[in-house]
Amino acid sequence: MSAPILRSVAALREATDPWIRAGERIGVVPTMGALHDGHLSLVAAAEKVCDRVIVTIFVNPRQFGNAEDLDSYPRTEAEDARKLSRFAVDGLFVPDVCEMYPEGFATTVSVAGLTEVMDGVHRPGHFEGVATVVAKLFNQTSATDAFFGEKDFQQLQVVRRMARDLNLPVTVHGCPTIREIDGLAMSSRNLLLSDRARTRAPVLFEAMETIAEGVAAGGDFDALHAEALKRLDAAGFTKVDYLEMRAADDLTLLSAPIRPARLFAAAWLAGVRLIDNIAVGG
């Protein structure tokens, strides 16, 4: 059954008021649409633990660095609604930009530390945009629980930090990355890859796996890193923004997995920026 599409905060509140009065557990799955199986796994996780599930679709201009990237972001609302119809979604919140950022909007949520590395450096202002919109979505939906993919691991840690620091009464759940059969992490941006680029894209995950396995077996990070860069270059990746090992909790840079660690990468292939991350040593 199709979930009602709610386009205003007023309509959303009308839907959630009775659920809140009944003390129900409300799960939110924030998305920018172009839904794939990764998003649907978050909806399935929300369904399991919550009485009510709200999926939000909002291509948030405040987290994009340039207008071109924002304009080319895929928008597939009708198809998204169809994909969600097999889940028990209670509301699909699809506000427009004026609803989210009305005239005079002047507030930004900024998280220090975790946002000063990786995508925080390569996409200035990105995490302020994310934290601001996610704080708003938490408040608008009155969510008790929120579901985010580990695919955007830095984002997940930033949202967790924000929820903790601002005492937001929301439990943030991180859900595993869902991959295509060839290993490529599912992402709405994969739709932007040409057929040729799509066949080469899994090399990012393969190169990361080689480093993670090598390091976990005691190998030298720098040597493995240099080999991975060569492999990416040979596969047609034009630029690697970062390929780094960091502590899973506070994202401190590591050269050996002396604490629970993850490998993080962002790299460009045929004009599309792909990001991925994997655990080191399981």
Q: Which is nearer to ligand PAF, 16 or 188 (CB)?
A: 188
Of 16, 27, 28, 30, the residue at the interface with ligand PAF (CB under 6 A) is 30
Count of CB atoms situated within 10 Å of the CB of 193: 19
Q: Any binding-site annotation on 86?
A: no
Residue 172 found at the interface with ligand PAF (CB under 6 A): no
User: Please, what is the minimum distance in Å from the beta carbon of residue 157 to ligand PAF?
Assistant: 13
Neighbours of 102 (CB within 10 A): 9
152 belongs to an annotated ligand binding site: yes
| Interacting positions 80-139 with ligand PAF (CB under 6 A) | 130, 133-134
Report whether 189 belongs to an annotated binding site.
yes
- For ligand PAF, the nearest residue by Cβ is 30
Q: Name residues contacting ligand PAF, limited to 189-228 (CB under 6 A).
A: none
Minimum CB distance to ligand PAF smaller for 150 or for 221? 150
- Least distance from ligand PAF to the Cβ atom of residue 56, Å: 7
Q: Is 36 annotated as a binding residue?
A: yes
Binding residues for ATP are: 32-39, 149-152, 178, 186-189
